[in-house]
Amino acid sequence: MTTEKKKVLLVEDDELISETVIKSLKLEGYEVDIARDGKECIDKVKESPPDLILLDVLLPQVSGWETLSRIRDHPIGKDIPIIILTALADEVSKIQGLRGGADDYVTKPFSSLELMARVEAVIKRSSRRASSREARGINPIPARKGEKIVLIDPDTIVFINIQRDSTYIHTDEGKFLSDHTLGELEKVLDREKFFRAHRSYIVNLRRVKEITKHGASAYELTMNDKINSKVPMSRRQSAELKKLLNI
């Protein structure tokens, strides 16, 4: 049982499942809030960020995938632990969820005991990561170039992106393959220096050269590297990034 009153936001439109999960969470000492669809979840996260989100995928109005993406794209939701809770048990869906920034993936039907154990484990990992970052600062990031393992200084990173389900770190020295997901890297990078510009891209704020608008709602970043790399930017992130860059 958790020793601290933590708030869990359950995003689920099935009444029976909701009742079961809420009862289990309250028995374990958690404070519980409920959202019936993705839009309500996003609104609640902005109003009062929870300590963890249990997120269904098959939701009305805004799907769980889109909800996950919007939460991870928003500065408030970057570090909130999220567990996908869904009937989609296929490998592609699991990869989509974990690559999209989820911390864990639980399929229905599930054991209440197992779910509570996963909730506790994810919250504890999140707390340890936060404490570790505060205590030690940011460490070099391991990555691969062919068969060679290298340690990359975060300050040398231009941007990080996902290509074909793999995560790559781009520096002036080239492109390196990371064994970590984009969400995992985002959690260890300094939020004053790095920004989730797009669901598939994290950029070094000090290496952004220009923001360009294409059409009515499309944006693109030009990075200050050898080839002036172009990085897509989410329209929702444009105002926040301009504020951070004083543009």
CA-angle at 191, arms to 47 and 212, nearest 5°: 90
CATH number at residue 179: 2.40.50.1020
Q: What is the DSSP letter of 188?
A: H
d(CA 134, CA 126): 13
User: Would you give per-residue pLDDT tens digits along the chain (247 residues)?
Assistant: 445 689 999 999 999 999 999 999 999 999 999 999 999 999 998 888 899 999 999 998 889 999 998 888 776 787 899 999 999 999 888 888 888 889 999 999 999 999 999 999 999 887 776 655 454 445 788 899 888 888 898 989 999 999 988 999 999 989 999 989 998 898 888 888 899 988 899 999 889 888 888 766 678 899 999 899 999 887 777 777 767 666 5
Contact (Cβ atoms closer than 8 angstroms) between residue 194 and residue 186: yes
Whether the model clears a pTM of 0.85, i.e. scores above it, the answer is: no
* Last-in-domain residue among 135, 156, 171: 135
Same domain assignment for residues 123 and 48: yes
Same domain assignment for residues 150 and 98: no
Residue 179 covered by a domain: yes
d(CA 64, CA 114): 21
Same domain assignment for residues 47 and 77: yes
